Amino acid sequence: MKTIRKAKPFDYVLLVILAGFLSSSFFLIKIALNYMPLFFVVYFRLLIAFIFLLVLVKIKKLSFPRKKSFWINVFILGILGNIAPFYLITWAEQTISSALAALYMSSIPIFALFLAHFLSHDEKINIKKILGLCISFVGLIILLHKDLTSLSFGLFAQLACLLAALFFAYSRVKAKEISEEEPLVTSAATLLTSLIILSFYLPFGAYKTSDFILSYEGIFSIVLLGLVPTAIAFVILYKLINNVGAVFMLSVNYLVPIFGLFWGYALLGEQIAHKLVLPLFLIILGIFFASK
């Protein structure tokens, strides 16, 4: 496993850029859903990202490792880091706003800290982390409290986002096991395994031509979704994990919900409800304590 180093100023610049890129996925999903079925939003997102990264791999004359352990890990990452969370978030955004979906991603480091306690030897839970987990949990309960009393689609959509955050957290911890590989290769390999798995489902999909609306806005949104928050963001993500470690990467979750709220407000006209401010503050405060 590659030795990580202390974060440099440029790493923080990359972190902010990554947060902006990752958070753009939520409003792009919202737009793309107006023009194609849920499955194809996920499938085309992964396909476009893979083609882009494969071209870069060829240009840089890189090659995919032949180690069995590498492909086992990227297979797991392909399912739990790509297919499952992408599908859950896209499904959820048929019901809830892009800003609310982005806000739930702030729970990723909470899940990551909890999982790291059981999956790693050097990131055990202590009193500060327990305090942080409790504070963030209160924030999540405040977010959900109105929907907890009824089995509404809104509740299921929010729970789907939480489950997606759990999958993302597991994939961040799991990514440490292949941190010695070139980030570009790792990103392309996880996308490849995701596409192979999803392609088995294609013959069974009962989709009609009328399910698709051909428009420049729809094409533009899905192309951007594949390139910016998926392909380019994945390369930055794995590069940062390789260089400065997964713990440093938890910091991106301070920024993703804030960017997500901004994109939803600025580009989709979604209102930023006052009720989101307190839970967001508590979740971020909990991350602060838990990551100390």
Q: Taking residues 89-109, report their average pLDDT.
A: 88
More confident residue, 218 or 1: 218
Instruction: Kindly state the average pLDDT of the residues 161-168.
Output: 94
Give CA–CA dist 269/129, Å, rounded.
37
pLDDT of residue 1: 52
**Mean pLDDT, rounded, for 173-178:** 75
Residue 106: which of 274, 283, 260 has the closest Cα?
283
* Residues contacting residue 208 through CB under 8 Å, at least 6 positions apart: none
**pLDDT (0 to 100) of residue 207:** 72
The three state secondary structure string of 209-238 is HHHCCCCHHHHHHHHHHHHHHHHHHHHHHH
**pLDDT for 158 beyond 70:** yes
State pTM to two decimals. 0.86
pLDDT in tens, 223-278: 999 999 999 998 888 788 777 776 677 677 777 888 888 898 888 888 766 667 78
pLDDT tens digit string along 13-60? 898 899 899 999 999 999 999 999 999 999 999 999 999 999 999 999
**What rounded mean pLDDT belongs to the chain?**
84
Query: Residue 89: pLDDT band by 50, 70, 90 thresholds?
Result: very high
Q: 47-61, 91-105, 197-211: which has the minimum mean pLDDT? A: 197-211
| pLDDT value for 83 | 96
- Record the tokens describing residue 76, joined without a space: 């797991």
Q: Is the pLDDT of residue 79 over 70?
A: yes
Residue 288 burial (CB < 10 Å; 0-12/13-18/19+)? middle
CB 265 within 8 A of CB 272: yes
Per the CB < 8 A criterion, the answer to whether 197 and 69 are in contact is: no
What is the DSSP annotation of 176-207? GGGTTS-HHHHHHHHHHHHHHHHHTTGGG---
pLDDT of residue 114: 78
**Backbone angle region of 158, left / alpha / beta, with phi > 0 → left and psi within -120 to 50 → alpha:** alpha
CA pair distance 17, 252, nearest whole angstrom: 9
| Residue percentage of the chain with pLDDT more than 90 | 41
Question: So what's the pLDDT on residue 70?
Answer: 92
pLDDT above 70: residue 123: no
